[in-house]
């Protein structure tokens, strides 16, 4: 699956369960580990876990096995690694604290969106 289609799959999985404030960042110029970061907020730890799980389920339905997930025990911040696309699903408190968008839009990062 191409990066664009994989990004769309993640976006749809998050939208299905009403993720908040979804951001898609093209980081291929700033990172050699992945091409796209999708960052979204859940309204509670339960919501964060459900959002991340939905990404995993949708990926597997499309014969894509995630490389791994981290953080599903606590649910404050769950990372789903799909290779070319990495999803970060966080509670609002964690998102405010870590400010991933700001980190990845610093001068070393491209700051471009995946779709443009």
The pLDDT tens digits of the residues spanning 72-99 come to 999 999 999 999 999 999 999 999 999 9
Q: Does residue 115 sit within a domain?
A: no
pLDDT at position 106 is 56
- 92 is a domain residue: yes
Q: Is residue 9 part of a domain?
A: yes
Residue ranges of the alpha helices (H) in 3-104?
3-16, 45-61, 92-98, 100-104
**In DSSP terms, which residues pair with 87 in a beta bridge?**
38, 80
- 7-60 confidence digits (pLDDT tens): 999 999 999 999 999 999 999 888 888 999 999 999 999 999 999 999 999 999
Write the CATH number for 57.
3.30.460.10
Considering the domain boundaries, does residue 76 fall inside one? yes
Domain tally, the chain: 1
Domain for residue 8, yes or no?
A: yes
Task: Report the predicted TM-score, pTM, of the whole model to 2 decimal places.
Answer: 0.87
**Whole-angstrom Cα distance, residue 33 to residue 79?**
14
Range of the domain at 42: 3-104
> Does 55 map to a domain?
yes
């Amino acid at each position: 699956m191409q990066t664009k289609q994989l990004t769309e799959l993640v976006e749809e999985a998050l939208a299905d369960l009403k993720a908040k404030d979804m951001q898609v960042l093209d980081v291929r110029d700033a990172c050699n580990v992945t091409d796209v970061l999708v960052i979204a907020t859940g309204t509670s730890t339960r919501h964060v876990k459900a959002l991340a799980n939905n990404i995993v389920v949708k990926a597997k339905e499309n014969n894509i096995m995630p490389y791994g997930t981290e953080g599903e025990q606590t649910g404050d911040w769950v990372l789903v690694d799909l290779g070319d696309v990495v999803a970060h699903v966080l509670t609002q408190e964690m998102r405010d604290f870590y400010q991933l968008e700001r980190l990845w839009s610093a001068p070393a990062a491209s700051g471009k969106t995946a779709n443009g």
